[in-house]
Amino acid sequence: MTTTIANRGLPAAEDIVGPTPGQQLRRRIFGHRGLMIGGGILLVMFLMALTAPLIAPHDPYMQSLLSRVKPPVWVTGNWDHVLGTDQLGRDYLSRLMYGAQISLLIGFAAAFISGVIGTAMGVAAGYFGGRVDMVVTFLITVRLSMPVVLVALAVVALIGGSLTVVISVLGLLLWDRYAVVMRSATLQIRQMDYVAAAKAVGCSTPRILLTEIMPNIVNNLIVVATLEMAHAILLEAALSFLGMGVQPPTPSWGLMVSEGKDYILFESWMIMIPGVALFLLVLAINLVGDGIRDVTAPEARN
């Protein structure tokens, strides 16, 4: 009954006021194709990583010498091993699922560590300027001059490859883009009137940084974080591929490509499957990052 009264020839409330900011945001999010596709793939990868122990058809470490290098089902394989088995007879699908855990873990952890370092440096440089800015800019230049793959390889090899080492080394190496972006974002925000107002009422510097600066640069931070997460995942895969990253028998996707390399002549699916998984994951993260940038700052699109 109420609906008939409300609609009797009169415009509805939202036609007069227009959609609320929340509705606008939701519309932008769900109307963004890249964000939806990327988000969808990422969600599937996430669920795959989280529920790997439950849904994986086999133990990813279980070797079976009798069924080595069995091709996937669409080549000539059977449904017991949908994606086939590797050179030690381990189920490829199960290894792929557990591999998602490794990639996502490394991506998140490395992006987090480098994010803390880079954001602290960038915000300090942008807010305080002067000497602090000079030192930070100098450190960024130094960091950019070092070939990251080579240094990461050398350090991981010297200390010994493991998940923790790879995460720490990547975390300590990938902060440059955070610092660059956070610095320039802070430089812009610093000149805003509300920062001056906060200073005028006597807010402490930490408080200004946390409650005035940070909320206004967090969008940029998220976008850089997705880029660096993708970067870290690719680097881990490259390190593991070169044999200086995560060590066997851990099911890292880069390692799987490396192990499949010996079968490149006749069993090229062995490198294709983990490669496609890596590609999809990184693509999804990049799409989500671009999407967040478009949705939060549509004017920044080129």
Partner 1 sequence: MLVYTLKRLFIAFLVALTVSLITFSLTYVAGDPATAIAGEAATEADIEYIRELYGFDRPILIQYAEWFLNAMQGDFGQSFYFKLPVADILFERLPISMTLGVCAITFAISLSIPLGVLAAMRPNSFLDRLALGISVVGQAMPSFWFALMLIVIFAVWYPILPTTGSESWEHFILPTIVLGYYATPAIMRLTRTGMLEVLGSDYIRTARAKGLPQHVVLFKHALRNAVIPVVSLAAVQFGFMLGGSIVIESIFALHGAGYLAWESIGRNDLPVVQAVVLIFSLFYIVLTFLSDLLNAWLDPRIRVG
Which positions lie near partner 1, rule CB under 8 A?
138, 141-142, 144-151, 153-155, 157-160, 230, 234, 237-238, 241-244, 254, 257, 261, 264-265, 268, 271-272, 275, 278-279, 282-283, 286-287, 302
Q: Which is nearer to partner 1, 174 or 209 (CB)?
A: 174
Q: Which is nearer to partner 1, 100 or 287 (CB)?
A: 287
Q: What's the closest the beta carbon of residue 237 comes to partner 1, in angstroms?
A: 5
Q: Which is nearer to partner 1, 79 or 266 (CB)?
A: 266
Q: Both tokens of residue 107?
A: 């991506």
H or E element that contains 176: helix 176-190
Q: What's the closest the beta carbon of residue 84 comes to partner 1, in angstroms?
A: 16
Q: What's the closest the beta carbon of residue 143 comes to partner 1, in angstroms?
A: 9
Running DSSP on this structure, what letter comes out for residue 85? B
Q: What's the closest the beta carbon of residue 268 comes to partner 1, in angstroms?
A: 5
Q: Which is nearer to partner 1, 153 or 221 (CB)?
A: 153
Q: Which is nearer to partner 1, 127 or 269 (CB)?
A: 269
Nearest CA-CA partner of 113 in 165, 40, 69: 165
Q: Which is nearer to partner 1, 62 or 142 (CB)?
A: 142
Class of residue 3 by CB neighbours under 10 A (exposed 0-12, middle 13-18, buried 19+): exposed
Contacting residues for 101 by C-beta, under 8 A, at least 6 apart: 49, 52
Q: Which is nearer to partner 1, 124 or 288 (CB)?
A: 288
Q: Which is nearer to partner 1, 38 or 60 (CB)?
A: 38
Q: What's the closest the beta carbon of residue 258 comes to partner 1, in angstroms?
A: 8
| Cβ-based neighbour number of residue 126 at 10 Å | 24
| Cβ-based neighbour number of residue 220 at 10 Å | 23
H or E element that contains 98: helix 92-128
CA 216 from chain centre, in angstroms, equals: 21
Taken in order 240, 246, 248, 253, the sign of the CA dihedral is negative
Radius of gyration of the CA atoms of the chain, in A: 24
| Cβ-based neighbour number of residue 263 at 10 Å | 15
Q: What's the closest the beta carbon of residue 148 comes to partner 1, in angstroms?
A: 6
Q: For residues 28 and 299, what is the distance between their CA atoms, to the nearest angstrom?
A: 13
Q: For residues 84 and 92, what is the distance between their CA atoms, to the nearest angstrom?
A: 6
Q: What's the closest the beta carbon of residue 144 comes to partner 1, in angstroms?
A: 7
Q: What's the closest the beta carbon of residue 154 comes to partner 1, in angstroms?
A: 5
